[in-house]
Chain A
Amino acid sequence: MSWRWIVDVFRRRRLDADLDSQLAYHLDALEAEGRARGMSPADARAAARRDMGGLTQIKDAYRDQLRLPAVETIWQDVRYAVRAMRRSVTFTVVVVSTLAIGIGANTTVFAVLDSVLLQPLAYPTADELVALKLSAPGAPGLADGLRLSPSMYRTFADRNRVFQSLGVWVATRGTVTDVGEPEEVRAIGVSDGLLRTFNVPPAAGRWFVTGDHLGARRPPPTPLRQYTTVMLSYGYWQRRFAGQLSVVGRTLMVDGLPKTIVGVMPKEFRVVDADTELIFPLAFDDSRFTLAGFNYQGVARLRPGVTIAQANADVASLIPVWMRSWSDGPGTTSRIYETWNIRPDLRPLKGEVIAGVTDVLWVVMATIGLVMLIACANITNLLLVRAEVRQKELAVRAALGAGRARIIRGLLVESVLLGLLGGALGAALAYAGVRVLLAIGPANLPRLNEISVDARTVGFAAMLSLVSSVMFGLIPAWKYTAPRIAATLGTLGRTTSVSRQRHRVRSALVVVQVAIALVLLVSAGLMIRTFQSIRHVDPGFTEAEHLQLLRMFFSQTAGTDPERVTRMQNAIQDQLASIPGVSSAAFGSAMPMEGFGPNLGVVNFGRIYTQDQQGLTADNGPVRLFKYASPGFFRTAGTRVISGREIAWTEVYDLRPVVVVSENLARELWGTPSAAVGKYIRHLPDMPWHEVIGVVQDVRENGVYEHTPATVYWPTMSASLNARPGQPNAIRGVTFVVRSERTNTPAFLNQLRQAVWSVNPSLPASPRTMREVYDRSLARTSFTLVMLAIAASMALFLGVVGIYGVISYVVSQRTREIGIRATLGAQQRELQRMFVRHGLVLAAVGVAIGLGAAAGLTRLMSTLLYGITPLDPMTYAVVPVILVIATLLASCLPARRAASVDPIEALRSE
């Protein structure tokens, strides 16, 4: 079709007039000829008219040529298709709803995948942002690289030549006491330069300015000065202040001190992937900087044109500068950091944000995509059967002069129409689906707030429906318009045995379905096995559902004196323990998996020194996890004491230098847990040696998946918390843990609050259970499991329906043959077996192909697995059995029907 056609459509009126005058001329010329041959004028005119033929027909033919032929006839096809669909409502409903579910599921997952993985982060020119990460291969024990210390931040910020700006941040918690009940909120401390790096303007008020980062002096050794201003997150602003603009300028009591609210950040703002309620300025005191204190995460904005490699090189050149510029104090050396081999490991910020979910989302997308393929295969099979039924109709159309292309197009129009209907419904389903997915999805999914169904999503649904409808439409269209239609006309009406070739297509489709279903079942099986192995892992605590947790922070207003704070904590512990139904209560710096990284000031990493047999000090290099545990902490949590005992209250109050260590640390340093008891450690040269009085089992601190860090449990009040010799301190951010069978009942929660407030009414008390913490740490795994299980059951169902359909069809096609066989003496059982065998052969081929495919594909999900390999023998043994049983059932039903065919009836029905 040339562009002239299109032009001509618009010039139609003029061309009509053109034709009129051409025809008029033609007529006149004919008439003139007649007269010239001697006819009378009237005869000549009549003869000319006759010769000319019907003017109207000529014009019609001419106009036909003028039209856009494809568009015009496609419209015919559409009307025809709609009629056909209305004639077979059941078929249409089945196909459209299968498609709607398939497309809806795919679009839903795509909406999430697109928003989370594909769209740029919600910062201006986000591709310039990098995560300022460091690796320290020489420092074993650091699972996730090395974070930045304040002195590093200062060195990098002042001396780099590659960044427009950079900043560091740290996530922590704070207690707000003057808005409603005391509440423990999430808070993020940001250094000067961080907000500028993100460059997201505030929704109200202003950013922090340099003055906000000055702050007031605090007692040593902390390098952080007391800040006096605070910004709110949008969510907190809406929840607590109903979005009032007047909130800017008012004061808020945070951790017992008044802070002035200077601004509110907009709704979509996140600090990397962290959501928060409060943002406060980090006020660094450079005079107290040491080399250590690796608690901060860095973000930088690259100068335009600077590559990550260049930035890495620049930061690498600054690390020796940093080591020369600062010191860990008199008598220390920076040589230890040389052995750490610290290297910059800058990464695009987006990669950091989505790191944990990239695999999950792609696996889920692939899975759902495979389900879509199975659905398409099923629909193809349905269309094949339907085309078979409509063969007569098609043959008649062909006989009436419809070209093969035209019939193919007609059939394609039908499937595209089905596809678009399904797509439209599917897009609507996706709107709901995204909500469901967000509800069952991992609560810690990054960029959760950015997920939406947008134009791209709808475009995806449209594309998917078109592609799939062409996919399932083309095969039947192609097969049933092959140029043997004329021949079929004659034989129609008799159910002749169907050609092998046609069976082949249908069988191939079923084999593909079984193969895909097997892949999905294997993936789901692997996830189930992963869950099983996780369940067998002893996390280091017992009966998580019977552990109620209460997180709180004891600010300076609660008491400046460490002993006072400790007595208050002790009192709360006793109050909690005296609640009816409570078997024991305790507290510690954090419970496992609570989601406080080692950077939160709650738990710390540090090196320890051990005393060897000669009484000498040995520096043991690797960093250890430092935690703080009250007396009874291990008994309450259910952490087994392997050797020795827990710390006692008298030891806490007497400041006796005692510690408990984890089993793996004991084995590493002293060989056996029992050998550890009685040994001594310390983590600073000027602190007293601490005696190891107990060894407890290893605890999965960072989630079941993660390795168990070597851990030192210090008393909650100890000199280990303070660099100044002889000056003990008390841990102030603590998690109380209460063991009771009454967890999460309203009455119990009320009693918990009363118990806390009876000691100090300004403490927050928002309880959760250890089970919630544990489940949350498994959110990614359980999400994958649920999604794969859904996909696999859909696949299994569709696969079974596919096999059932094919066998039923074969049976119906071979009724006559069955009749003959039965007449000739074939036993029912034999007939039945014949069809079951057919189904089993198909399944076997599908299983064989599927096993191969699964072996290749499941390797892609190895990062999601735990405790098993992607080639888990158990899964690979069980899944084919399930599929074969399902196939057996699916082919038994139609086979029984075949066997019970009455031979007389079968033969007569022809």
Chain B
Amino acid sequence: MPKEVLQGTLDLMVLRTLDVMGPQHGFGLAKRILQVSQGLLDLNQGTLYPALLRLEQRRWIKSRWGVSENNRKAKFFELTARGRKQIDEETRNWETTVALMAKFLAKTGDL
């Protein structure tokens, strides 16, 4: 069963996707994230679009109107320099969390 997006992880997913793929519109991002998650994730658009706005408000990404592959007007998002820095930061955080959880799960008996 597909998982809800874990709080705080969507930002990193979006940033990372934009980092790898370059400027993307909302649909493209959603599609890519679902693709990468290989169906493990249930990405609600009600989370994605507010998240994009939030990231923009934090100035980690910026947006501009452009023309999509099928020649329609679409809003494209791309990483800012701050956003690139943020990826490192968030990645570190995530790794810490993972390591921490791993310890708990591995050594249940010692706790």
Contact = CB atoms under 8 A, between A and B. Distances in A.
A267 interface: no
B72 interface: yes
Contact of B75 (A18, A28, A64, A66): A18
B2 interface: no
Interface string B36-70: 00000000111101100110111100000000101
B25 A25 contact: yes
A22 interface: yes
A4 B46 CA distance: 21
DSSP class of B's interface residues: helix, strand, loop or mixed? helix
A2 interface: yes
Contact of A65 (B45, B57, B59, B70): B57
A21 B67 CA distance: 13
Contacts of B59: 2, 4
A435 B6 CA distance: 64
A10 to B, nearest CB: 13
Contact of B57 (A2, A25, A26, A60): A2
A57 B70 CA distance: 28
Contacts of B30: 26
B73 interface: yes
Contacts of B47: 61
A19 B46 CA distance: 11
A21 B75 contact: yes
B58 A61 contact: no
B27 A25 contact: yes
Given A22-B25, A28-B72, A64-B50, A52 B58 contact: no
A257 interface: no
A26 B27 CA distance: 5
Interface in A12-58: 15, 18-19, 21-23, 25-26, 28-30, 32, 52-54, 57-58
A29 B31 CA distance: 10
Contacts of A57: 46
A75 interface: no
A653 interface: no
A26 B73 CA distance: 11
Given A52-B45, A58-B49, A29 B27 contact: yes
A4 B68 CA distance: 27
A12 to B, nearest CB: 11
A4 B57 contact: yes
A60 B49 CA distance: 11
Nearest to B44: A53
Contacts of B13: none
Contacts of B73: 21, 25
Interface in B16-37: 25-27, 30
Given A18-B75, A65-B53, A23 B45 contact: yes
A8 B57 contact: yes
A62 interface: yes
Contact of B45 (A5, A18, A26, A28): A26
Contacts of B26: 22, 25-26
Contact of B46 (A21, A28, A54): A54
Contacts of B12: none
B46, B59, B74 — most chain A CB neighbours (10 Å)? B46
A336 to B, nearest CB: 84
Contacts of A65: 50, 53-54, 57
A52 B26 CA distance: 12
A4 B53 CA distance: 10
Contacts of B44: 53
A65 B47 CA distance: 10
A64 B53 CA distance: 10
B46 A53 contact: yes
Contact of B72 (A2, A23, A25): A25
B67 to A, nearest CB: 11
Given A4-B59, A61-B46, A61-B49, A22 B74 contact: yes
Nearest to A52: B45
B58 to A, nearest CB: 7
**Most chain B Cβ neighbours within 10 Å, of A19, A22, A30:** A22
B98 to A, nearest CB: 24
A29 B30 CA distance: 11
A25 B45 contact: no
A708 to B, nearest CB: 79
B49 A23 contact: yes
Contacts of A21: 73, 75
A22 B57 contact: no
Contacts of A23: 45, 49
A25 B74 contact: yes
Nearest to B29: A26
B56 to A, nearest CB: 8
Nearest to A63: B50
Contact of B68 (A25, A62, A64): A25
Contacts of B25: 22, 25
A58 B58 contact: no
A64 B46 CA distance: 11
Contacts of A32: 70
A394 B70 CA distance: 54
A8 B50 CA distance: 13
A26 B56 CA distance: 19
A15 B57 CA distance: 12
A22 B68 CA distance: 12
A266 to B, nearest CB: 58
A308 to B, nearest CB: 56
B10 to A, nearest CB: 12
A66 B25 CA distance: 20
B61 to A, nearest CB: 12
Given A29-B27, A32-B70, A65-B54, A22 B46 contact: no
Contact of A2 (B45, B58, B68, B75): B58
B45 A53 contact: yes
A60 B50 CA distance: 9
A527 B26 CA distance: 78
Contacts of A52: 45
B77 to A, nearest CB: 10
Interface string A358-376: 0000000000000000000
A4 B54 CA distance: 10
A17 to B, nearest CB: 11
B82 to A, nearest CB: 11
A53 B45 CA distance: 7
Contacts of A30: 27
Nearest to B72: A25
Nearest to A18: B75
Given A25-B25, A25-B74, A28-B72, A19 B49 contact: yes
B75 A62 contact: no
Contacts of A60: 46
B14 to A, nearest CB: 14
Contacts of A29: 27, 68, 70
A791 B100 CA distance: 58
Contacts of B56: 4
Contact of A61 (B50, B74, B75): B50
Given A28-B72, A29-B27, A22 B49 contact: yes
Interface in B58-111: 58-59, 68, 70, 72-75
26 contacts: A2-B57, A2-B58, A4-B56, A4-B58, A8-B57, A15-B53, A18-B75, A19-B49, A21-B75, A22-B74, A23-B49, A25-B25, A25-B26, A25-B27, A25-B73, A25-B75, A26-B26, A28-B72, A52-B45, A53-B44, A58-B46, A58-B49, A58-B50, A60-B46, A61-B46, A64-B50
Interface of B: 25-27, 30, 44-47, 49-50, 53-54, 56-59, 68, 70, 72-75
Given A4-B58, A22-B26, A26-B30, 14 more contacts: A2-B59, A22-B74, A25-B26, A25-B68, A25-B73, A25-B75, A26-B26, A26-B45, A29-B68, A32-B70, A58-B46, A60-B46, A62-B50, A64-B50
- The 7 A-B pairs at the shortest CB distance, nearest first, are namely A65-B50, A58-B46, A29-B27, A26-B27, A61-B50, A4-B57, A61-B46
